[in-house]
Each structure stands twice: as structure tokens, then as C-alpha cells.
């Protein structure tokens, strides 16, 4: 449960206590206002969440407490000399608090606020937990199995005894890859750590149970089985090659397999195979024999199937060089599905600052344990928590109780596992160490490249961590769907959240110079105006309202001269513009740098760290522009709206085309002869449609 955030400290009826009065509170190495100290002394002895802010209003820290008065007063009363706590307390200018009903609610609210506010002195994990699922469409069959249930005898009673003459897609469940919010009308299995893991599971389902993966539109318009049937990956329900009850049994068995009941499914299939053989139904027995063989092969490959754990998350943490990695490995249905690394921010600043009531205990908590607890609290706010967690560090019982309360699932945590769990944890610890080593290596390399670039181009940058580059590129197909990209490099890495695409219109198709003029004007005209207004008012330029230290354009003299015209017209510094001109034969490593302020071309050398960084940023701008152009081109060429724009294609003819070819993509792939076979489409109109879509 998340409690609404109060804009100011809540007013409560406070009882007299022996807590320190304002004059008794002593700031550690800093002077705080009497108003702030009075607010601290007036806090209620209730559970809640507190937020500290600096003089500029930026949030410093978010913490939770069983007793707000006691916990917050300890920051200002105790001596924290020479610690990170002292540094943080010295910057506190104001605070806000929110009272909640219990410690569990405080913990949940605390981590919601940490994710929302991203305080500097809290360990913060990025909110990128969009996990993929395996989806089986349609409502669960009556009595369909859960993790600990067998299917009821009448599970298939409501299914028609024979497949209809024209199969109905809704009667035959489809297995598919899915990412997004779940819906009650379908069944979902997972989450999986990666798209690869989901696709591998779908491949197993196809091999063993032969469930369909095609869209309903394709299913409804098939007249003969597809290639998947020929290679024994589908039972072809679209053309009635399998009866609805038999297909439904395969769906039930697939669900049981995904829940971890693979051995029971194997026994059931073997018993059915024997029964068919005894009745001399050899074709049906042979089909089941192939299923048994495929499932047996899967079980042989999955060496960790025969374990008692169905759903487990294994969490291992590694801290080194001021960085941390939490490696999350997932076991679902008794099968190890792979792992996924997470790298938190603010580890150095937050280490040693903890919201435990007992400061002696807080001092004994390792950085690894703090990182792991921060991950558990933030990660499972919106992700279902499995019933078992295996961790490399101990986790406080209060945190587990809060997770159990929120999820409604009893959660057990094992810190020092044995047998198979120990093997899983050792694998996760090894991967955490490898991933952290890779990160440190990459960051060291990127930092060296940034420094080399600043030296090579003689950039006047006070702080290399703050060096900012923006790079522009133009992409189109013979003038069609022209897109411009702008990518940003800062803090020694690409800042994908600040990337921008621009749709270029109103120019001669294929005119790259005009496209470059348009995108630079749109990007910097408002910024130039803001800078002029700030200069007239005598105000500094801060935040995102500042020019980058370097503006890269993908191109030579022509693109650079166009950029120079734009910057000159806006009154901006021409020395910021650098063109990346391709070398002889367009070979990588032979690029030359072209300057807008009149300096001679520069060749940095193919082994130059500065050129490697420039090429990295340039290639990212190129990739981002191409993907945008292709998406726009596909939308224009394949959109249903374009069909209606073709003269002679109205809503009825459009519907017939979509129904015949299973969707817009199918229409685009069809030949003119195929289009002419649709009712109401003449040969002339078919040729016109084909030309419009190609």
C-alpha cells in the first residue's frame, strides 16, 4: 500500500516525551535554522518516511523510521564527524515527513519515493524491469493445473468433441512471447530474465506439444498447413488436422510442464500411449510416442529439473571500486532460465547511510548487504515476488515481511543454501563478479577516451564527467521518410533518454544539406533565445539549458558549412561544430575531422582513443536515424490508412484485403496477381495497389 505524500509535515496530537528540545539538538559540523530544529523536535513518535532537501530544493535522502522523532533527531544530535552522514547532514536545509500505519507501509513508501525522486544519498536501481512473459491465450480450462494441482477429470468437458468444419481461432489456444501488463483473460508464465529465454521455452512447447504460434488473422485464413506443421512444430489446428479436445489436452500438458510438473506429464503421456497401443490405435500411439521422446529429451537436457524448488530468485551482490552489481538468476518451474545483471547508482555516496533505528547495528551492516536490501525493496515493488529467495547476503526480516504483506505470498529467504541452491548461488556470484569487472573495464576505457578527446581537440572543460556531445545524422531512402537523429554523450556514456528524432518535411527529397539545416535550427533556436534572455538578465545558464561542449555532424565540408550558417544566424559559437568526414573508401579509422571555425582538417589516427569515441557516437547517431527512418517508412508503406488513401479502395475493399491476407503486412507482401483474386479488386486496381505499396 502506498500512502499519499503530504506536502508538509502532518499535524498530530503529540504526547509529552523526554525527546530532545530544539536547543538540545546539535548539528554535526553545520549550522541549521531554528525552524528546522524545531520541526525535528516536534515530530511524532510514529512510523513514517522522511525526506531531506538542500538549499536549492534538491532531495538528498529518503529514509523510513519506526519512530520518526527518535530517528530524525539522531541525525542532528549525534556526532558523525568525518563520515558521509556528516557530509549529508551539513547540506540539509529542509525536510518533509509522512506518517504511515506500520513499518511495512513505511518501507514500501520509502522505496516508491526513492524510485521517484532519485536522492543522491540513497542506493538507486534503474526502473527497467520490463520482463518478458510466455503467454497462452484464452481463459484457463476448467480445472487447469496450477503449480500444486492436477487437472480435474472434467477439465475438457466443455470442449467440442470434434473440430469444426471451419476451425475457430478462439477454440485453439496460442502460445506467444509477451511483454506488458497482464490480462485476466489469458495465462502468463514467467517472468523470464530475457527474450531469449522466452523464445527458447516457446520452441520447447512447439517441439513437445505442437501448439500454434500464429496470429488469429493468419489462423482464420489458412487453407493448408504451414511449414511449422511440416517440420513437426505445430499440429495444424487451423485446417482441422487435430480435434479440439486433443489440442486442449496438449494445452493442459504444456501448462503443467511450465509449472514444473514435467515428470507427471511424461507419465501421463506414456500411459495414454500404452492404452492406444492396446486398442491397436497405432497412429495415435505413434504420435504420443514422438511426444514422449521429445519431452524425455528436454528433461535430459535440463539437469536441474529434479529439484523441489519450483519458482526461485537467486540474488548475488558484488561491490568493487565504488561500483556494485546485483546478479538476478531466475528459476521457474524448476528450470534455470538464466540471469540478468543490475548496476545501482549512488553506491559511493550512499554507503554507510542506513535508516536502521539501532545505529550500532547500522554500522555493522556491510555495503553488500545495503545494496542487496535496496535491490530487493525496489525491485519487487511492482514485480511479483517468488515464494523463495536465495541471497548472498542476509536480509532483514522486516523487509521480507513487507514484501509478503504486499504480494500476499509467503516468502522464505535462504542466506547460506545447500545442495542445488548452493550451486545456483555460486553461479550467480561468479556472474556478478564477471559483470562488475566488465563494467569497470568499460568505464575506465570510456573515461580514457573522453580525456583523449578533450586533449586532442583542446576542449576547455572543467569537469570531464560533465563533457557533453551531441551528434546529428540524416537518414532516408531515396528521399522517402527523411529522419534526423540527435544522440547525446555525457558522463562517459550514451544518454539514451535524451535522444531525439526529427521528422524532416518541406524540403526537396534527398537534400541532406537542407535536412541538416532544419534539424539544427529546430534543435538550437529556442536554446539560443533562452541564452540571450539569460545574458540580458544577468542570469547563469544551468541544467539542460546549456550548449553542448561539442556538436558533431556526420558529414564533411557541405554539412559543416550548413551547420556554420545555422550557428552564425543564431549567434552561437562556431568552434563547437565538428564534422566527421569519411576517409578513403569509407573505411573505419580513416575519418578526418572538419571544423566550422576555419581550422585545418585533423586526422587523429586509426588507433586514437579520441577517434574511437567520436566513431562510437557517430555510429550511434547513424543507428538511431536508420531505425527511425525504417519505422516511418514501414508505417507509410504498410499502414492500413494508406490503403484507404488509394483511389478506389474504400472501407469494404480494405476489409476484404485485410481478411484475405491476414493483415496489412500480408497485403504488402502479396503480388498484383494475388491482389486481383480478392472480390471487388479488378486487375487495374490490383496494379495500382501494388504500385502504391511498393
CATH architecture of the domain with range 312-436: 2-Layer Sandwich (3.30)
Task: Give pairs for 145-148: CB < 8 Å, separation 24+.
Answer: 145/252, 145/255, 145/256, 145/259, 145/261, 146/259, 147/259, 147/260, 147/310, 147/311
- What is the dotted CATH code of the domain comprising 501-625? 3.30.420.340
Same topology, domains 312-436 and 501-625? Answer is yes
Listed by start position, the domains of the chain span 22-117, 132-260, 312-436, 501-625, 639-693
Alpha helix (H) residue ranges in 164-243: 195-209, 216-220, 227-230
- How do residues 262-279 score in pLDDT, each as one tens digit? 666 667 767 777 776 777
CATH architecture of the domain with range 639-693: Orthogonal Bundle (1.10)
DSSP state of 470: E
Summarize the confidence of residues 392-399 as an average pLDDT.
Answer: 88
Q: What is the CB neighbour count within 10 angstroms for residue 579?
A: 25
| Integer-rounded Cα radius of gyration of the chain | 32
Task: Give the pLDDT band (50/70/90) at residue 120.
Answer: confident
146-160, 295-309, 330-344: lowest mean pLDDT where? 146-160
Grouping H, G, I as helix, E, B as strand and the rest as coil, residue 129 is coil
- How do residues 370-394 score in pLDDT, each as one tens digit? 899 889 888 887 777 888 999 999 9
Q: Which residue has the cell 495444424?
A: 236
Range ranked top by mean pLDDT from 161-170, 293-302, 472-481: 472-481
- How do residues 664-687 score in pLDDT, each as one tens digit? 667 777 888 888 888 888 888 888
Q: What is the CB neighbour count within 10 angstroms for residue 238?
A: 25
Alpha helix (H) residue ranges in 387-485: 397-407, 419-456
**Closest-CA residue to 69 (of 137, 135, 21):** 21
What dihedral angle (degrees, nearest 10) is formed by the CA atoms of 447, 453, 458, 460? -40
- What is the dotted CATH code of the domain comprising 22-117? 3.40.1440.10
Amino acid at each position: 500500500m502506498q500512502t499519499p505524500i503530504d506536502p508538509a509535515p502532518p499535524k498530530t496530537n503529540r504526547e509529552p516525551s523526554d525527546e530532545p528540545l530544539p536547543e538540545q539538538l546539535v548539528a554535526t559540523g553545520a549550522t541549521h535554522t531554528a525552524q528546522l530544529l524545531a520541526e525535528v523536535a516536534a515530530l511524532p513518535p510514529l512510523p513514517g518516511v522522511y525526506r531531506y532537501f538542500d538549499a536549492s530544493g534538491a532531495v538528498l535522502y529518503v529514509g523510513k523510521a519506526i519512530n520518526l522523532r527518535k530517528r530524525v533527531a539522531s541525525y542532528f544530535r549525534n556526532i558523525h564527524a568525518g563520515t558521509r552522514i556528516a557530509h549529508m547532514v551539513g547540506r540539509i536545509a529542509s525536510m518533509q515527513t509522512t506518517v504511515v500505519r506500520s513499518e511495512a507501509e513505511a518501507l514500501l513508501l520509502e522505496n516508491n519515493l526513492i524510485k521517484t525522486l532519485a536522492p543522491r544519498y540513497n542506493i538507486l536501481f534503474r526502473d527497467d524491469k520490463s520482463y518478458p512473459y510466455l503467454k497462452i491465450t484464452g481463459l484457463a480450462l476448467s480445472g487447469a493445473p496450477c503449480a500444486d494441482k492436477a487437472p480435474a477429470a472434467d477439465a475438457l468437458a466443455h470442449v467440442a468433441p470434434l473440430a469444426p468444419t471451419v476451425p475457430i481461432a478462439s477454440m485453439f489456444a496460442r502460445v506467444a512471447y509477451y511483454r506488458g501488463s497482464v490480462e485476466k483473460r489469458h495465462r502468463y508464465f514467467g517472468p523470464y530474465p530475457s527474450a531469449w529465454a522466452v523464445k527458447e521455452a516457446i520452441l520447447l512447447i512447439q517441439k513437445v506439444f505442437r501448439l500454434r504460434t500464429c496470429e488469429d488473422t493468419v489462423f482464420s485464413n489458412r487453407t493448408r498447413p504451414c511449414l511449422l506443421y511440416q517440420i513437426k512444430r505445430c499440429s495444424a489446428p487451423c485446417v482441422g488436422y487435430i480435434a479440439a479436445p486433443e489440442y486442449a489436452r496438449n494445452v493442459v500438458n504444456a501448462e503443467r510442464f511450465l509449472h514444473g510438473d514435467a515428470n507427471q506429464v511424461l507419465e501421463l503421456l506414456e500411459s495414454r500411449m500404452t492404452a492406444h497401443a492396446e486398442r491397436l490405435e497405432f497412429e495415435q500411439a505413434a504420435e504420443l510416442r514422438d511426444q514422449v521422446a521429445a519431452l524425455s529429451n528436454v528433461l535430459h537436457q535440463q539437469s536441474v529439473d529434479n529439484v523441489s524448488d519450483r519458482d526461485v530468485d537467486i540474488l548475488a551482490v558484488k561491490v568493487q571500486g565504488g561500483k556494485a552489481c546485483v546478479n538476478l538468476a531466475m528459476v521457474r518451474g524448476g528450470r534455470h532460465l538464466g540471469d540478468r545483471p543490475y548496476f545501482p547508482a549512488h553506491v559511493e555516496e550512499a554507503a554507510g547511510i542506513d535508516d536502521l533505528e539501532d545505529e550500532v547495528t547500522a554500522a555493522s551492516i556491510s555495503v553488500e548487504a545495503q545494496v542487496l536490501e535496496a535491490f530487493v525493496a525496489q525491485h519487487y515493488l511492482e514485480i511479483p515476488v517468488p515464494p523463495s529467495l536465495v541471497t548472498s547476503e542476509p536480509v532483514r526480516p522486516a523487509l521480507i515481511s513487507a514484501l509478503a504483506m504486499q504480494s500476499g505470498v509467503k516468502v522464505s529467504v535462504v542466506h547460506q543454501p545447500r545442495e542445488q541452491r548452493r550451486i545456483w548461488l555460486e553461479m550467480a556470484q561468479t556472474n556478478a563478479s564477471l559483470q562488475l569487472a566488465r563494467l569497470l573495464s568499460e568505464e575506465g576505457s570510456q573515461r580514457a577516451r573522453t580525456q583523449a578527446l578533450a586533449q586532442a581537440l583542446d576542449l576547455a572543460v572543467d569537469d570531464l564527467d560533465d563533457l557533453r556531445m551531441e551528434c546529428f545524422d540524416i537518414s532516408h531512402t531515396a528521399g522517402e521518410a527523411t529522419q534526423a537523429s540527435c544522440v547525446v554523450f555525457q558522463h562517459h556514456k550514451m544518454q539514451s533518454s535524451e535522444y531525439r528524432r526529427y521528422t524532416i518535411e518541406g524540403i526537396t527529397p534527398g537534400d541532406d544539406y537542407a535536412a541538416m539545416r532544419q534539424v539544427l535550427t529546430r534543435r538550437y533556436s529556442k536554446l539560443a533565445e533562452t541564452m540571450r534572455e539569460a545574458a540580458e538578465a544577468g542570469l547563469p545558464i544551468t541544467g539542460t539549458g546549456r550548449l553542448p561542449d561539442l556538436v558533431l555532424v556526420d558529414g564533411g565540408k557541405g554539412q559543416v558549412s550548413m551547420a556554420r550558417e545555422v550557428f552564425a544566424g543564431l549567434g552561437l559559437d562556431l568552434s563547437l561544430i565538428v564534422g566527421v568526414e569519411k576517409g578513403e573508401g569509407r573505411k573505419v579509422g580513416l575519418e578526418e575531422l572538419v571544423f566550422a571555425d576555419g581550422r585545418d582538417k585533423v586526422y587523429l589516427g586509426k588507433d586514437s582513443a579520441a577517434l574511437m569515441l567520436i566513431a562510437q557516437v557517430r555510429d550511434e547517431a547513424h543507428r538511431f536515424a536508420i531505425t527511425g527512418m525504417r519505422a516511418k517508412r514501414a508505417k507509410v508503406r504498410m499502414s492500413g490508412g494508406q490503403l484507404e488513401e488509394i483511389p478506389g479502395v474504400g472501407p469494404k475493399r480494405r476489409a476484404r484485403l485485410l481478411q484475405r491476407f491476414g493483415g496489412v503486412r500480408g497485403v504488402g507482401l502479396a503480388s498484383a496477381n494475388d491482389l486481383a483474386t480478392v472480390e471487388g479488386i479488378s486487375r487495374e486496381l490490383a496494379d495500382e495497389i501494388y504500385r502504391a505499396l511498393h
